[in-house]
Each structure stands twice: as C-alpha cells, then as structure tokens.
C-alpha cells in the first residue's frame, strides 16, 4: 500500500486503512443530528460481526468534528478501520482470546461517566436525545467496548515484540523527503509537583455525619437509589442509583471490597473511608467471589485552613529546590500526588512519552502561567483543582523552550522514534491482515466498491 506522511503528527498511515490507530470510535455521541441516520443498514460483514452505516457515519462525523477536512478517501479509511476492528474481534474469537466481563463492565462504567460529564446533560436529557434508555445506551456501549478491548488485545499480541534500533530510527528519518518534514511550533519542557490538600479531621467528621443521616433515612424506609441520585458524588449514581453491578475480587479499592465481603445480604454499612471519600454501602447479593452492591459517596472537602497549610508546605519545598537542597525531579518523585507525572520527575509528556510538548497541546492554565516565567524558573505555589475535582496546590518548573523548527534528529528524537516504531508495527499489522482475512468471511456493500478495500 502507498504511504503518505501525515505531517502534523509525523506518523505514517496507510492511506486506505489508517492502521496505526486501530481504535474503535464510538458513534453513540456526536452523530445523531446527521440526517443520514434516518435509514440504517449493514454495509460490511466479517464472519458474525457487522458494520452499520450509522457506525461509519458516526465515526466520520467525529473525524470532521476534530477539524479534519471532508474527504472521500478519509471515509474509506475509516470504513477500513472499522472492518479491521471487526476482523480483530473475529480472529480473537477463533484464537480464543478473551477479555473478562469484569474488565468490560468497569470500562463501560467509566465511559458512561465520561459521557455524562462531557455532554453536561442529565440522564433524562440523554435518553430523550438518543431515543434510548440509559440501560440501552449502556448495553450498546458495552458491546463496542468489548470489541475495542478484544481488538486492542489482538493488536498487542501482534506487535508486542516489535522494537526499533537507533539505526532504524535514523534510516526512517533520512528517507523522509525534506519538503515533507513537519514543522513544529514552539515546544516546551514543563514539570510540576502537585500536593492535594489533606482534609482535616473536622471535615471528615462532617462527611461521616452527613452519611449517617442519609443511612438513617434509608433505614426509615426511603429509597436508597433515589437518595444516591440526590446526594452521591459518584457521577455514575445519576444513571445507576449507586448500584455497581457484579464485580469480582480485586475490582474495587480494598476498603470497598472488604466492606462488601463483611456485610450480610441487604445490610447497610456504617460510613467508611476509601481513597475517593466516604461511603455507605448496601450489599445486594454475593455469589462466590463476586458481589453486587450499591453505595453513596461523599467526598470530604478541605477547608480554607487545610489549603493554606498545603500552600505553606509547597512554598517550603520550593525554597529547598531553589537553594539546591533537593533537585526538582527528586522532589516530584518523593512528594508529588500526581501519578501521571511524578514517575517522570514531574514532567508533562506527550502521547508517545516524550517531555517536549507543543505549546498548542499543553494545558492552557499551565501555558498562561509559564508565559510569565523565564526558562529555569520555578513558580510560586498555585491553587487549582485536579481532573477528579480535588483541591490541590502545585509548583511549575519551566525547564526549556524550543523555537519553532523543522523536525530534526537532535530536538525530536523521541517523536521520530515513535513514528518509526508506528510504521514498523503498521507493516506487521498489514501482513497480519493479509493472512487473517483468509480465515474469515468478509463481505462489503457494493456501494463502497470505489474504496477498493479488499485489493
């Protein structure tokens, strides 16, 4: 297949297939306003798995929503991606590759929470918008997630032993025509140390007391699910009433699991603490090592005094770094509460793990902070809220800033290495596809013959 360089990300893609992604794009959101959804039909079949026209149109609408131009070739590529995903799933079934129901359910729950949060709608509004109940939306999404997980597992098996040497990286770079090399805007290296404000005993007691009162209301006869929708700070409670579904050992944090296995069927726990906050739980059922429960979560919020105490700690830590009593990277590994960055010495990383990030991709709040700093500076403590809504304080280290430049091995090694590895995996997947397609039945609607997908 002919390859072309996609300059904005320095990554080779297969013009017909976009093999490098191999990720199922959910059309549940973002495409229902398109008039093409009035009529649906099967446009491809891979063994017992089908691709619907609505799937393709939904994926294409998401593609356009990302700012990409309208393109017939792109739509063909997206159709090919969907077919490859179905092929992955069909082959996974043939090769007895499995993903556990527990893992699928957990991923589905997380995705449902993301949908609710990102859409800003209530469950009732989503049901009206898509003409389905939340249970029906969840089931549709669960099937897609299971297929995506199976596809990812197959991809991992096919490519797990593939790596690139420095010589291969250089060869990859030198075969790119000079006029095709991407031009990068300014890159920066920025690190952070995050300290989540610890909640005082008084604030914790307030959360416990609130849950105790809710528990008493349930015991007096009020509906647990309705109270969960009203009071629980777990976003999923809005559509499941706090009910978690059957999960096995190891699926939940230890405090939650221990409580579930200690309760009798129907019993409601006293308030208990987990890393997420405080809960009350009712055990619905238990069968062997699996259990079903419902819960209400209240996250104790830190007081102003708690946040002030955290600021003082961070200011003291900053002074130690500035006076060279401790290096920033070491301090990040020892003291930062941000799991995504502390392992890299506090540095933000791109999708490929590199520390040089385009200013276009960095968090706007971080960008506006470093825009007032000089390279080498460490900011004063800054209050902010983490992605999961916790009050925190952080300091930022503005290490370097690279001017706009054309891709080169010295400044962009990590990006070029990632692109070379992606191409090598892409080739392996192409070979796998050519062989695997002989093991399954593939039929594509003649309407899409112009895509030449099976040539």
Q: Collapsing DSSP states into helix, strand and coil, what is residue 363?
A: coil
First to last CA, the chain: 10
Distances (CA, A) of 39 to 26, 48, 58, 129: 19, 22, 13, 17
Q: Where are the domains of the chain?
A: 3-175+408-451, 186-198+303-403, 201-298
Are the C-beta atoms of residues 48 and 39 closer than 8 Å to each other?
Answer: no
Q: DSSP states of 20-41 as a string?
A: TT--PPP-SSS-TTSGGGGS--
The architecture in CATH of the region 186-198+303-403 reads Roll (3.10)
pLDDT at 222: 96
CA–CA separation, 450 and 356 (whole Å): 41
3-175+408-451 and 186-198+303-403 agree in CATH topology: no
Q: Collapsing DSSP states into helix, strand and coil, what is residue 276?
A: coil
pLDDT at 133: 83
CA–CA separation, 49 and 433 (whole Å): 16
pLDDT tens for 227-284 read 999 999 988 888 889 998 888 888 888 999 999 999 999 999 999 999 889 999 999 9
| pLDDT greater than 80 at residue 85 | yes
Q: 1-10, long-range: CB within 8 Å, 24+ apart, which pairs? A: 1/430, 3/423, 5/176, 5/180, 5/182, 7/180, 7/181, 7/182, 7/183, 8/182, 9/182, 10/182, 10/407, 10/412, 10/415, 10/416, 10/419
Are the C-beta atoms of residues 75 and 17 closer than 8 Å to each other?
Answer: no
pLDDT tens for 386-397 read 987 889 999 999
Nearest C-alpha neighbor of 83 from the set 47, 48, 51, 42: 51
pLDDT tens for 116-174 read 766 666 677 777 877 888 788 888 888 889 888 998 899 999 999 999 999 999 999 99
Q: Look at the pTM and tell me if it is higher than 0.85.
A: no
Q: DSSP states of 65-117 as a string?
A: HTTPPP-HHHHHHHHHHHHHHHHHHHHHHHTT----HHHHHHHHHHHHHHHHH
How far is C-alpha 342 from the chain's CA centre? 18
Rounded (10°) angle between helices 101-119 and 134-159: 120
pLDDT at 119: 66
The architecture in CATH of the region 3-175+408-451 reads Orthogonal Bundle (1.10)
Mean pLDDT for the chain?
86
| pLDDT greater than 70 at residue 28 | no
Report residue 455's pLDDT band, with 50, 70 and 90 as the boundaries: low
Nearest C-alpha neighbor of 374 from the set 352, 393, 397: 397
Q: Which CATH number fits domain 201-298: 3.40.50.12780, 3.40.50.2020, 3.40.50.170, 3.10.50.40?
A: 3.10.50.40
């Amino acid at each position: 297949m002919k390859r072309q360089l996609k300059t904005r990300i320095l990554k080779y893609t297969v013009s017909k297939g976009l093999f490098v992604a191999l990720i199922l794009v959910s059309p549940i959101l973002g495409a229902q306003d398109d008039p093409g959804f009035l009529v649906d039909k099967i446009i491809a079949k891979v063994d017992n798995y089908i691709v619907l026209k609505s799937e393709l149109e939904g994926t294409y609408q998401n593609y356009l929503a990302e700012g990409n131009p309208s393109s017939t070739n792109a739509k063909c590529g997206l159709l090919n991606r969907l077919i490859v995903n179905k092929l992955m799933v069909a082959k996974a079934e043939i090769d007895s590759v499995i993903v556990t129901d527990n893992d699928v359910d957990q991923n589905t729950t997380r995705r449902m929470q993301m949908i609710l949060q990102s859409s800003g709608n209530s469950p009732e509004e989503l049901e009206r918008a898509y003409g389905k109940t939340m249970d029906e939306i969840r089931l549709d999404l669960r099937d897609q997630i299971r297929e995506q997980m199976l596809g990812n597992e197959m991809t991992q098996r096919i490519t797990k032993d593939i790596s690139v040497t420095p010589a291969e990286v250089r060869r990859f770079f030198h075969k790119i025509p000079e006029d095709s090399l991407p031009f990068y805007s300014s890159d920066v290296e920025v690190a952070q140390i995050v300290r989540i404000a610890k909640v005082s005993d008084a604030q914790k007691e307030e959360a416990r007391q609130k849950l105790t009162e809710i528990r008493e209301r349930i015991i007096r006869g009020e509906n647990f699910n309705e109270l969960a929708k009203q009071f629980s700070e777990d976003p999923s409670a809005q559509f499941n009433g706090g009910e978690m579904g059957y999960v096995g050992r190891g699926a939940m944090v230890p405090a939650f699991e221990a409580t579930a296995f200690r309760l009798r069927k129907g019993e409601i726990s006293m308030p208990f603490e987990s890393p997420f906050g405080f809960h009350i739980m009712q055990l619905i059922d238990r069968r062997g090592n699996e259990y079903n429960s419902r819960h209400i979560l209240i996250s104790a919020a830190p007081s102003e005094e708690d946040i002030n105490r955290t600021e003082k700690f961070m200011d003291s830590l900053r002074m130690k770094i500035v006076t060279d009593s401790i290096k920033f990277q070491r301090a990040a590994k020892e003291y930062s509460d941000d799991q995504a960055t502390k392992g890299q010495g506090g540095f933000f990383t791109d999708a490929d793990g590199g520390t040089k990030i385009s200013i276009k991709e960095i968090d706007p709040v971080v960008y506006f902070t470093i825009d007032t700093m000089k390279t080498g500076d460490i900011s004063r403590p800054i209050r902010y809220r983490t992605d999961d809504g916790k009050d925190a304080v952080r300091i930022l280290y503005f290490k370097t800033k690279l001017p706009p430049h054309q891709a080169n091995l010295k400044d962009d090694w990590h990006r070029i290495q990632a692109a070379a590895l992606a191409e090598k995996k892409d080739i392996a997947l192409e070979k796998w596809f050519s062989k695997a397609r002989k093991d399954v039945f593939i039929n594509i609607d003649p309407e899409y013959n112009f895509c030449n997908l099976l040539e």
